[in-house]
Amino acid sequence: MRRVLRWLQRVFQAVALAGVILLGGLLPACAMVPPGDAAPPTTTAISGGPPTPREQALAHARASQGRLLMLGSTLYSAVLLGGFLLLGGTRLLARYTAPLAWGWGVTAVVLGLGVTASLLMLPLDYYAGFVFPHAYGLSNQSPGQWFRDYGVGEAVNTALGLPLTLGFYWLLRRAPRTWWLWTAGASVPLTIVLMLVGPLFIAPLFNTFTPLKDTALRDRILAMAHAQGIPAHDVFEMDASRQSRAANAYVIGFGPTHRIVLYDTLLENFTPDEVQYILAHEMGHYKLHHVAWGIVLSVLGTLVGGWALSAAGGALLRRWGGWLGVHTLGDPVAYPVLLALGMALSLLATPLGAAVSRTMEWQADRFAARIDPDHAAGISAFHKLARLNVAEENPPTWAVELYGTHPSLAQRIAYLQGLEHTRAH
């Protein structure tokens, strides 16, 4: 009888596992029906007027499918992680890592689960990163290029993530009560180093950065930067068209790695006046110290999140630790528990982070409107962003409030139109 029960349990586990894996592969296929007339719009004829009804319908279809994909991906990760914990994954891990020294145990669990999760998420990631943008004419990548970028990204994540996770675990073990305080403290220099290193060493793994060839535009941008007291010496263009049709620009880094970067897709489709307006917005982020504010807020977030993780993790282990085979959060096998709690906490924090981001974007928009009086260029630049990126100008309010990092383009355009209107009277 007992043997039959155990056999049934095994069968159930195998079926559940197969179901989860199938779900990951089939979900995107069911969710996605690319619109039949989604012919990629020609990039040369992007005008600065509002999107046509057909463009609006396409942008709406893309946004709705994108939201479904995001929901599916979240549910899929939750099912994978939840299934692993409920099916006794931690006890299995404990059996294999018991003979290992603590550090090797942590390394084995983090790498083993990381590689497994990457493989299980690959179909969905491929769909979201390759098939989906291709259906809307947004991606310029071949499958080979996509897989190359994906591999490089995973390698960078592992090279940076593994030592950081080991350090984090070391704190968990050394200071079981106050580790979250130390983690928040350590996150300050780490964030600054990553921000310094990112533009110099990580971004060039994916794209090529060259000094802006259009010298007239470069001089115009540098003049505006210097008038704002921004110590920029050069403007870079990035071959963003390698990956995507989408346009953007940014001012990044500080000190020696400080630079202004324009996507080649922006240079191709936007007039110098429109480029200048977009950069006025980016300079707003710089002048209003949004990078420094970002660091301060992320340290605060790490502090609150770490405390919540510590409290929730402790309560969970007191109640279920025996069943899970996890005794303290510093155990190597506590990793999936920490991941599950971290995922839940970051989901809860998403609307708050998005609200902070939207506030900063509004501030940068106001700054741009003040230093660059050519509001008409701003309006046509926003329309072009919508058309080129197949983005909704007016997404549902709930979507903006839940996870929107920017105010809607419709709101941003309405703000500039309001300024034009007051000036006309």
Binding site for Zn ion (CB under 5 A): 361, 364
Q: How far is the CB of 39 from Zn ion (least distance, A)?
A: 31
Instruction: Give me the least distance between CB of 283 and Zn ion, in Å please.
Output: 10
Q: Which is nearer to Zn ion, 245 or 285 (CB)?
A: 285
- Distance from C-alpha of 28 to C-alpha of 31, rounded to nearest angstrom: 5
Shorter beta-carbon distance to Zn ion: residue 149 or 361 = 361
Q: In the block, which residue shows the tokens 């349990």? A: 9
> Smallest gap, in angstroms, from Cβ of residue 294 to Zn ion?
12
What residues have CB less than 8 Å from 425, skipping those under 6 apart? none
Length of the chain: 425
How far apart (Å, rounded) are the C-alpha atoms in residues 114 and 122? Answer: 12
In angstroms, what is the minimal distance from the CB of 405 to Zn ion?
9
Q: Which CB, 361 or 372, lies closer to Zn ion?
A: 361
- By beta-carbon proximity to Zn ion, the closer residue of 109 and 221 is 221
Residue number with CB closer to Zn ion (237 or 361): 361
Rounded-to-integer distance, Cα 270 and Cα 55, Å: 18
- Do 341 and 349 form a contact (C-beta atoms < 8 A)? no
The distance of closest approach from Cβ of residue 92 to Zn ion in the complex, given in angstroms and rounded to an integer, is 46
The whole-angstrom separation of Cα 54 and Cα 326 is 55
Q: What is the smallest separation between the CB atom of 174 and Zn ion, expressed in angstroms?
A: 40
Residue 106 or 364: the one with the smaller Cβ distance to Zn ion is 364
